[in-house]
Structure 1
């Protein structure tokens, strides 16, 4: 019902929602998420309970026998391999797909025009030089405040100079991945990796609900082909690998391409011996990709574990908003976790919570970076315009920096 309410704006389209989510054990077996499925007896069986327990017992005994004969390290490596492959790209591209992808790359990208803004008074234009911005309260359809603003107004230039956060109370607006890169990295230092990777590259055995219209609509808002931008650059001269959510592409939601690009940027960071900085601004797992999207939680965590095993720092930045499967996976694995001041950090956004809870909702105060910081889930809450200084300062305190500084001295 929750998926139906979110995707189809109705709680009645249960069959369509199940087709999207692919929640059954058959799909999990197909995608390699589980190793086997325990046979279930007929629901009409008079001895149903005992038969279920017997089947579970047999499955456990069989698995135990196999464990005794198998090297545990092999099992661990095989599990990691399966996780890393889930939602991965095809090893060889079929001719038709290659041609179709090339044709798509030749097609022009169309942008949707901005909605006309309401008229403003000549007095406001005289005071601010342009249409003013307002730091207003955000309210639900019933008029309840879900995110408070300071209600001050300011010029557009002030807003832009402060990286689209209120210059008075620092309440941030959602921004795209390229804006985050401008905030974090030195000018002209960013080099993008795997920019062409898209859902068309994902192995055909992972069957998704057809949501091409939603993807095309997002393409009109963003230059990126999916919701994660990955690459490398410099931060006050420090070389870093970086991955940032592209909130303009389907709300930064985490799907197969997102998980694959996270895996690839970790591979790059390990090969180059670089720390990884990840900025999350995401609504969570992409519901349109069902079970595969949910499993990217395991895939991203597995990738971060490999980075840590290599002894490289991982700085996680919780942007506005950070919710759902992104918050519940890689985003909270940081060696140091930073959040933007007044960012929404929550299990789900207010609209989704109310859609799936009969309109009850939760206290807005529990959905903030400041709340999570008080509970010990975030190490530092800072203004958006201070993120670069905070991250580079933290990196200079790590063993990675000291080791690299010493290596640089020895080379001199």
Structure 2
């Protein structure tokens, strides 16, 4: 980590309070998060993602080029993130430490850094331990949307200006954690990538022990253990009929908080309510995953099959694994028609852009992608089945990238998005289909 601005790199953690990577996050997933971060930024720069009110950015309308992932600097970004997180915890938490060690890594030309204030692990009252791929990705995406929305809200504009700056053509993202589940996330932008100072990192197609190309070595990917499934300490649902802790309601009165045991009959209810997970809307199954049983996350294989390995230098953070999330080694085989008699109907979005078609990407009434879980390597029938079995999923989007359906060339891979927010419209995108779930009537 970098202990101070422009200091020499210290090849160790600040203390036992910090960790390079949560054990519930596999090496492959961490590497994918580096790439997901850049891909998400480019979705804003391309106009695929918009302001929360559905409007477009003027720079995007004028034409912005995507930033490339400067993979050789991912590790260095995480070293800076660790230094910032260490400063944050020693100076009161909150957003303290933002940019404390910025520009400690190699840059070329104009440069800038965006930082997400510390999340989870009781930061800002949020007890969530952000230690799984899906949680980190959701918090990251929520932060990036808030940064982009600075363009339509009063106050600071710096994060948004950095994301939309046409002078930047390269970027790299950093992640750092505490053992209690706090996460620090930063995004570093540069005019160009200095490949001489920080060459690209890759372990794709390499055997364990081979060089990753940037000073580390490759090891075989090992699946991370499941994160312990536990109910949230607070449900934030108050009722005079409940028996939990006495709380003050928004109207100023006092009432009892409902416990997960009392909410168990509502586990199958997909309705979302405000919860403490960084301001997200949550279903009962999200707040009480252990009580609801099926709300507990499963473990899908994340490591590539065959001899493909991923890098993880000794005592160092791994760099990116470019390309899509590896397909499961033993993917589930779902029948497209299984349970059709009792299952939901699948219809095209009915909004203005959707019409009667299902060809395109899913959009919420606000004109953005909303909240969703992402799965790689799924067939469309598998994607549909996962949405059918999920209490939170209200629609799914399936994409065939670089394949015949999208009119592209090269190797094809698939992406499945399980959408949690209402979907009403479509964004025209080649190779994408979107279907809304309509539950059967009794």
Bin for the TM-score computed over the shorter chain = under 0.3
Larger Rg: 1
Higher strand residue share: 2
TM-score by length of 1: 0.27
